[in-house]
Structure 1
Amino acid sequence: MMTEPTSASVPGIWYRQSSEDVLRALGSSTEGLSSSEGTSRLEKAGPNEITEAARPGGFQILLSQFRSLIIWILIVAGGVSAIMGEIVNTVAIFVIVVLNAFIGFYQELSAERSINALKLLTAPEVKLRRDGRVRSFPASQVVTGDILILEAGDLVAADARLLKAASLFVMEATLTGESATVEKQITELPSDNIPIGDQVNIVFMGTSVAAGAGEAVVVSTAMQTELGRIAGLLQQADSTKSTPLQQKLDAFGRVLIWIALGIVAVLFALGFLRGTALEELALTAIGLAVAAVPEGLPAIVTVALSVGVLQMARRRVLVRKLAAVETLGSTTVICTDKTGTLTVGQMTVRALYVAGNGYDVTGEGYEPHGTISLREGMLDDKHSLALQELANVHLGCNKAHLFEEDGIWKVIGDPTEGALLVSGAKAGAKQEVLSRESPVVVEFPFDSDRKLSSMVREMPGGSFRVFANGAPGPLLERCSHIYTEQGVRPLSQEDRLVVSSVISGMAGLSLRVLGSAQRDFDEFKADAVAADVEQGLTFVGLAGMYDPPRPEARRAIADCRAAGIRVVMITGDHPETASAIAKDLGIASGASAVTGAQLEQLNEHELNERVSSTSVYARVTAEHKLRIVRALQANGDVAAMTGDGVNDAPAIKGADIGIAMGQTGTQVTKQSADIIVTDDNFATIVEAVEQGRGIYDNIRKTLQYLLAGSTAELLLMAVCVVIGLPAPLLPIHLLWINLVTDGLPALCLATDKIDPSVMTRAPRRQNESLTDRRFLSTMLLTGLLTASVAFGVYFYTLKYGDAETARTHAFTVMVFSEILRAFGARSETVSVWKISLLTNRSLVVVVVATFIFQIWSQHNTVLGGLFKTTPIAYADFMVLFSLAAIPLVVLEIVKLLRANFAKANGQAARD
């Protein structure tokens, strides 16, 4: 009779217990549960499914799109336009509001699909032993105590402790991020706090069986599994975070509201005290409110980000959320996976040893192009013959297949065998020839006891030869002879010492070392076992391999350092390998990696202190990654997180910017991410950082341009109202000025070419104001200069002419001045004559077209009546144009003075 699971069935202890103790604790046996017991446990525990947290409904998500104050400013501006009868302007504004709302609604709804993607990783059917018989069941009916029957190709339906394992290899990339298969065993593990990747007697939900067979007792189901725990972390991770740009614009929007209300109230009161008619006061106040608020800003920001998205797509970066572009530009720390992101993601043979000589191998990944060179001396025929002998062993014991698809070389099979296959091809061996002339008679797969694999092939002359590859130590113990340039001779103790020294040298270079050997037989018995053929072998040589860093990764990391961005490697790989790659790439100088087990010993305060000086983490879990990201954020960093496996998803979702790998990334990871890098390349991420910084700069200078125009309009109106002059600009004039400046010129600035110097600056502080002192001083100076020129023209014309002509001149000068300023607004530091006009042709076209239209409108009866202006002589236009250029000239002089002052201070500091 089955018993209930005991209190010993606590998650995390199963790998430390024997299989008998686990079965006893779970109230099960090798015969499995009874049908009635399985049903009973299912009713108590519930189905074996990943559950979802409660989510807001569609209507709530839609309403949340209207939380931004800038959106409400836009709505108010639309209402003001409607009151004033500006139907076209009203329609345009509300179209923008609705479009922004639906775009945000769609993105937020799409982002919540992550948990659904996790469900795809659970097996729909599973083989269980119940009532002593093996039958198929829906994966949702698996309960603790069930006996799983595992075969090659199966998806594991729950976390389970292995009871039997026959050459069982499991692919755990979804949990650990490492592409190599893991050989499983059944013996208990005595240590505590063993990382997921080293729990070799446990199989986990969502992983897949690559080879072999096994049986396991289920210890956790549903949300209690490692996959379920990740799903829980994913639900807890903050997906509603606002970006630095959104936060700054919201804060700025609040300031704008109070400024606009304050100005309107003051001027309304002044006019009322003077006895101005209420209708005129209302129109003036409404016009001032429209002038105070740059209603085109949200649209300009959206367009700038959208154009950035298109540009990034051309650079192999897909953006799922518009605001993520700017967030990436403000990143201070990039947490990156190692395999496939910083490295090629393909094992590559880098060194060979055969017949007493060492060789270097060039080439990257699985592409069979590269050279093999002798370290000492020139390569000749005898060396080529030795290399061919070693290559024959590499290919003779190999089940992988190399092929080219769409210009990319790929391997089907084990990555290690793929690396040997490529190395053999570089030495001149051909797999298809060997397979045709020497067919396989029998294969002895790799297992953890022998630590090698072998294949027996029938040779062309009728003899037989065993080819063996494996761990160099155990392989050498089975060898009695050695291959040399003079032929085969007995293996001496001195030979063993020499080979052992070569093995140590390769391992010291962080290479994974594999040995190769062979043996000839005149006859071969069909019932022979591995022990019969894997003895008396002839040692042929060694291969040293590793997953090489991407050639462009080292430069990309150097670019990050120059840009003030710290790169942190977080990997499931071994600490030694992670540290070696980090040192090679320049991520860390020499400090050892912090392991997941060490992280377990740190509390939150200790971790917050540790993350600021740690650059390499190894053997970490999904929870560790999320803790690292949160600790960085607690220290004030803007953290980007990259990854491809399910174990990366919680940290990706919780980071300020989540980056998924497009080629190797799981669907869960991609749904959790803000952006997707289609080529899985770290250098592409750095390019995206540059793009993000450039877009922020463009938005900032566009905002300054818009606000300077609004400031000029307000100053001009306010001064005239205060001193009792007639309004210099009518509401229709203000609307037109806003249209021509908030529209196409601002759009051209927002999409301007990115300044290449952006990657030489330190990242912006997260609390840095969008409008700093330099921003405000330039904005106020620009507004003051423009308003002064327009007031001077208005006052002079009003003194010697009528009010309508004075308004016409003031109106024209304001338009000319503001569109001319667009050229100077392209850079806060570089003079306008140093920036080629050809780098922003659209701005040139817009400025010229606006000049022509403004002149033509003064002589067109319909437009003249609409604007209530009088015709201006063409000679007067030239005078007004010259006066309108004064603010631009003064601002350029200020730029030169600032640059010279900064240069002098820099020289003084160096002296």
Structure 2
Amino acid sequence: MYDVVRMKLHDCTTSELFQILKTSPHGLTSSEASQRLQESGPNEIENARVHWTHILVRQFKSPFIYLLLVACVLSLFLGQWIDSLMVFLFLGINTTLGFYQEYHSEKTVQLLKKYLEIKSTVIRDGKEVELDVEQLVPGDMVRLVAGDRIPADVRFIESADLLVDESVLTGESVPREKTTVILAQKPDDIYSASNIGFLATTVVSGEAKAVVIGTGKNTAYGEVAKLTAQTERMSTFERQLSQFSKFTLIIVLATLALLIIANLAIKRSPNFVELTLFSIALAVSIIPEALPVVTTFSLSLGAAHLTRKHVVVKRLSAVEDLGSIEVLCSDKTGTLTENKLVVDEINSKDQKLTALYASIVAKPSHRGSDPFYEALVQQLSPDQLIQVRSSVILREFPFDPNRKRASKVVKISDKKLLLVVGALEMMVPLCKSSQHTDPALVSWVKQKGASGKRVVALAVKELDSKFTNVTEDHLQFLGAISFVDPIKSTTIAAVHQAKQLGLQIKILTGDSKEVAGYVAAQIHLIESPHAVITGSEFEALPTEKQHAAVEHIHVFARVIPQQKYKIIQLLQEKHEVGFLGEGINDAPALKIANVALVVRGAADIAREAADIVLLQKSLKVIVDGVKEGRQVFTNTTKYITATLSANFGNFFAVSLASLLIDYLPMLPLQILLVNLLTDFPMIAVATDTVDHEAVATPSRFQLKNFILFSLVMGIVSTFFDFLFFGIFVRISAPVLQTAWFMGSVVTELGFLFSVRSRLAFWKASRPSNSILILSALIFGLVILLPYTVIGKQLFLFQSLPLAYLIVITILVTGYFLVSESAKLLYFRERRYDQPAFLSETKKS
């Protein structure tokens, strides 16, 4: 980065500045500017563009995608076009979704250029000209007026009543006074330099002349862009899915290898073709090819529900990630507070007169607005507003950081007055009255300052007609006014709800320590308003203490983008982190967070880096989103658990049974049909209702929990599969195959109704209509299919007598009851786990 502090461009004189940058008050010549443009490059953010083909290829770099591709090829090899087409459809949905998400996110950096697509008034060859900002170079002289966006990092050399809104970069809610004064001390960070202006910030009032000291990537904004561009984020859900698919692939390949070796060792003359087809069918049957569809459907439903609650979801998997967050980091300005000043209190014997005179001083002399003026005029009557507008400014002394006050000589009606507004301690020597030293007033000012409010004092002096006494002495003290950025009405309740959901909330703001502490204490986030650390204090801590700080401290003030980024990085070592922000300064933190949230009025780059956009500026919608995310997570885990347990149970039982008989216990086509039919109600899991206990705490996918539970339930499934085998194997091959087919489908349907809740099935929430209807249809089809011509001729089923159906019914009922009992026993023994289904959960 073009380090302004290192180059000492903030504390050198104007002549020294010109010498360092090799420029002059008349600016550069065209030839000098052209040469520098070749050396420094255009004033823009350059980033390597990723071609859409690269993004598309990335969609196939996943073990689960490999599984689906293998399943599709194997189905084609078996001649099962329908099954192959369904797998291909699932693959297409997953790939399309991933491509859209990544392609859209790659546009984030390109959006930075929108902040540079403006004209700027530049002095070239001694003349003022309008140039595209891309043509600016270090050493250029620019003129700025109210409403202008600062086109580069600049050092101010002339200014009048200059206020700059830096909230988009620093997060600070109140515009900063800017000056040409050389800084006496090195600032804590570059954003504290009052004589420096930053790219993409906006002049609120006043005017200035400034020299360009940094362009493009060599600016504070350029560093933010660099962080945003270099940050790569993988969804928590995507990591979990990759983990699950690798596990499935290893189990399938290992089991099939053992099956083939065992068949070759046990059977004297095995049918290699038949064995190969059987192994391929088993492999296809165990692959949960509907998982992408279930997930996409669940996420889409969740996103649709959130849309009705004024939340726009840009990255679908963020819905599920939202349910897993344990820490929510939020910028204060515009999120917890209103991002506007209001008058808190007027301490004066004549409040109306104090508000009137203060409004006249605060009224901008140039184009633009002043937040203090906008707050003060709300206290005025219509007659007073007319007085303010009709007052004549005869002389003006703008705010000066050294004087810490601003003065105006005004004519109001027939009176000529000197009005002075500033910090109370600077007004003390100027006033003739002792009122300003009243202990009660001093205590009031200290109390307001400690609570994060901004206080200004006002004094007046009546002038004679010849202005012989225009000096800032013997002033009459009128009173003091405190200002505050009010907390939103919904914030306190939302923070309370977040705590009930097990969410830690941390404030990361560019505002002062006092303001941040006051807000945090008011919303009951911290007990003491002093429990705050600044970004520079945090940066000075040793590494081990930084880790401790992010865990135990909830409010970070005066943080710059790089510090927000680091805080979230450290938190992510132990937690799933969501970040809520809205400024340019938030973009890197938004992109690295597990879930990135912004409000509707956020800066474009922040909105593009986000996963979720809140159309209403309220924490309540985040709470609703967390609940929705946990419901999606729960339904997705229902599918994984049901398929993993049932499929593995059947997989191992059929594999072992094949070693005990001279024919296949189930034909390859029948195995694929079981897989196909059970997929339909499984997909409907996405619409299922969720128990309240499942959304009560943050939950995280843990493969070991799935393996353990699936092992327990798989043993139950395998036991009942062998009961089917033992009862029907003595009759005939077609009877065994038909009975086992019917039993496999119906037991999997029953198992779904058991595994959908960790509660006893009669205490669980009612299943969705989609599950009930599809399950009934599949059950009816399975019962009827063996008696149809298609079932007999295509799938080689055999009609079963009523007695056999009764036996199957008894076995299925027994399986359901034993599975239900095993489930309840499993959760009772593991009752230290939190309620979220089959997940690792944590309490804040």
Change (3 A) 1:257 1:47: same
User: How many Å separate the matches in 2 of 1:532 and 1:864?
Assistant: 109
Per the TM alignment, residue 209 of structure 1 is displaced from its structure 2 partner at its CA by 1.4
1:135 partner SS: strand
Per the TM alignment, residue 83 of structure 1 is displaced from its structure 2 partner at its CA by 1.7
**Could you tell me which of 451, 455, 469 is aligned with 2:405?**
451
Question: Contact 1:782–1:887 at 8 Å: present in 2 too?
Answer: no
User: How many Å separate the matches in 1 of 2:643 and 2:662?
Assistant: 26
Which region of structure 1 is more displaced relative to structure 2, 444-453 or 177-186?
444-453
Q: 1:369 is matched with which residue?
A: none
Q: Is 1:212 the counterpart of 2:170 in the alignment?
A: no
**Could you tell me which of 105, 118, 127 is aligned with 1:124?**
118
User: How many Å separate the matches in 2 of 1:8 and 1:172?
Assistant: 19
Q: Is 1:769 the counterpart of 2:726 in the alignment?
A: no
User: How many Å separate the matches in 2 of 1:227 and 1:547?
Assistant: 26
**Could you tell me which of 761, 775, 794 is aligned with 1:832?**
761
User: How many Å separate the matches in 1 of 2:138 and 2:724?
Assistant: 87
**Could you tell me which of 738, 743, 761 is aligned with 2:675?**
738
What pairs up with 1:217-366 in 2 under 5 angstroms?
217-237=211-231, 239=232, 241-272=233-264, 273-355=267-349
Q: Is 1:548 the counterpart of 2:489 in the alignment?
A: no
Per the TM alignment, residue 575 of structure 1 is displaced from its structure 2 partner at its CA by 1.4
User: How many Å separate the matches in 1 of 2:724 and 2:504?
Assistant: 54
**Could you tell me which of 123, 141, 148 is aligned with 2:135?**
141
Change (3 A) 1:163 1:394: closer
Q: Is 1:583 the counterpart of 2:577 in the alignment?
A: no
Q: 2:740 is matched with which residue?
A: 810
Per the TM alignment, residue 145 of structure 1 is displaced from its structure 2 partner at its CA by 1.7
Deviations 1:414-459, CA, capped at 9 Å, x for gaps? 333343344x3xxxx654x654687523256962347357796867
Deviations 1:501-533, CA, capped at 9 Å, x for gaps? 332333333322345678999xx98x9899589
Per the TM alignment, residue 320 of structure 1 is displaced from its structure 2 partner at its CA by 2.3
Q: 2:371 is matched with which residue?
A: 415
User: How many Å separate the matches in 2 of 1:420 and 1:870?
Assistant: 89
Q: 2:390 is matched with which residue?
A: 440
User: How many Å separate the matches in 2 of 1:546 and 1:815?
Assistant: 66
User: How many Å separate the matches in 2 of 1:13 and 1:606?
Assistant: 31
**Could you tell me which of 779, 803, 814 is aligned with 2:710?**
779
Deviations 1:774-816, CA, capped at 9 Å, x for gaps? x3343233333334334424432443x4432332222222221
**Could you tell me which of 763, 771, 790 is aligned with 1:843?**
771
Question: Contact 1:351–1:544 at 8 Å: present in 2 too?
Answer: yes
User: How many Å separate the matches in 2 of 1:843 and 1:607?
Assistant: 50
Change (3 A) 1:131 1:535: farther
User: How many Å separate the matches in 2 of 1:396 and 1:24?
Assistant: 41
RMSD of aligned alpha carbons? 3.6
Question: Contact 1:453–1:469 at 8 Å: present in 2 too?
Answer: yes
TM-score under structure 2 length normalisation: 0.88
Q: Is 1:611 the counterpart of 2:550 in the alignment?
A: yes
Q: Is 1:98 the counterpart of 2:92 in the alignment?
A: yes
What pairs up with 1:464-479 in 2 under 5 angstroms?
471=423
User: How many Å separate the matches in 2 of 1:516 and 1:888?
Assistant: 81
What amino acid does structure 2 have at the position aligned with 1:154?
A: D
Q: 2:693 is matched with which residue?
A: 757
Q: Is 1:703 the counterpart of 2:697 in the alignment?
A: no
User: How many Å separate the matches in 2 of 1:738 and 1:626?
Assistant: 46
Question: Contact 1:107–1:321 at 8 Å: present in 2 too?
Answer: yes
What amino acid does structure 2 have at the position aligned with 1:867?
A: F
TM-score under structure 1 length normalisation: 0.82
Change (3 A) 1:715 1:47: closer
Per the TM alignment, residue 79 of structure 1 is displaced from its structure 2 partner at its CA by 1.2
Q: Is 1:789 the counterpart of 2:720 in the alignment?
A: yes
**Could you tell me which of 638, 649, 674 is aligned with 2:611?**
674
1:120 partner SS: helix
User: How many Å separate the matches in 1 of 2:814 and 2:668?
Assistant: 25
Deviations 1:69-107, CA, capped at 9 Å, x for gaps? 111111111111112222122112112223322332222
Change (3 A) 1:893 1:600: closer
Question: Contact 1:859–1:871 at 8 Å: present in 2 too?
Answer: yes
**Could you tell me which of 703, 715, 721 is aligned with 2:652?**
715
User: How many Å separate the matches in 2 of 1:809 and 1:864?
Assistant: 13
Question: Contact 1:353–1:542 at 8 Å: present in 2 too?
Answer: yes
Question: Contact 2:4–2:190 at 8 Å: present in 1 too?
Answer: no
**Could you tell me which of 808, 812, 822 is aligned with 1:884?**
812
Change (3 A) 1:421 1:858: farther
Between the aligned residues of both structures, percent identity stands at: 27
Deviations 1:457-491, CA, capped at 9 Å, x for gaps? 867xx8899998765566787777xxxxxxxxxx6
Question: What runs of 5+ residues in structure 1 fail to find an aligned partner?
Answer: 1-6, 356-385, 401-411, 481-490, 907-911
User: How many Å separate the matches in 2 of 1:269 and 1:802?
Assistant: 26
User: How many Å separate the matches in 2 of 1:661 and 1:528?
Assistant: 52
Per the TM alignment, residue 694 of structure 1 is displaced from its structure 2 partner at its CA by 3.3
User: How many Å separate the matches in 2 of 1:420 and 1:788?
Assistant: 79
Q: 2:64 is matched with which residue?
A: 70
Which region of structure 1 is more displaced relative to structure 2, 81-90 or 856-865?
856-865
Question: What runs of 5+ residues in structure 2 fail to find an aligned partner?
Answer: 835-844
What amino acid does structure 1 have at the position aligned with 2:609?
A: S
Per the TM alignment, residue 186 of structure 1 is displaced from its structure 2 partner at its CA by 0.8
Per the TM alignment, residue 710 of structure 1 is displaced from its structure 2 partner at its CA by 0.8
Per the TM alignment, residue 721 of structure 1 is displaced from its structure 2 partner at its CA by 1.3
User: How many Å separate the matches in 1 of 2:337 and 2:372?
Assistant: 15
Q: 1:728 is matched with which residue?
A: 665
Q: 1:183 is matched with which residue?
A: 177
What pairs up with 1:847-862 in 2 under 5 angstroms?
847-862=775-790
Deviations 1:124-152, CA, capped at 9 Å, x for gaps? 32222233322222222222222111112
User: How many Å separate the matches in 2 of 1:255 and 1:726?
Assistant: 30
Per the TM alignment, residue 66 of structure 1 is displaced from its structure 2 partner at its CA by 0.5
Question: Contact 1:159–1:225 at 8 Å: present in 2 too?
Answer: yes
2:116 partner SS: coil
User: How many Å separate the matches in 2 of 1:892 and 1:729?
Assistant: 27
The size of the alignment, in residue pairs, is 823
User: How many Å separate the matches in 1 of 2:815 and 2:220?
Assistant: 65
Question: Contact 2:435–2:477 at 8 Å: present in 1 too?
Answer: no
User: How many Å separate the matches in 2 of 1:604 and 1:640?
Assistant: 23
1:145 partner SS: coil
Which region of structure 1 is more displaced relative to structure 2, 111-120 or 127-136?
127-136
What pairs up with 1:864-903 in 2 under 5 angstroms?
864-872=792-800, 877=805, 880-898=808-826
Q: 1:627 is matched with which residue?
A: 566
Question: Contact 1:701–1:749 at 8 Å: present in 2 too?
Answer: yes
Q: Is 1:23 the counterpart of 2:18 in the alignment?
A: yes
Per the TM alignment, residue 214 of structure 1 is displaced from its structure 2 partner at its CA by 1.0
User: How many Å separate the matches in 1 of 2:11 and 2:808?
Assistant: 87
User: How many Å separate the matches in 1 of 2:638 and 2:84?
Assistant: 26
User: How many Å separate the matches in 2 of 1:196 and 1:528?
Assistant: 42
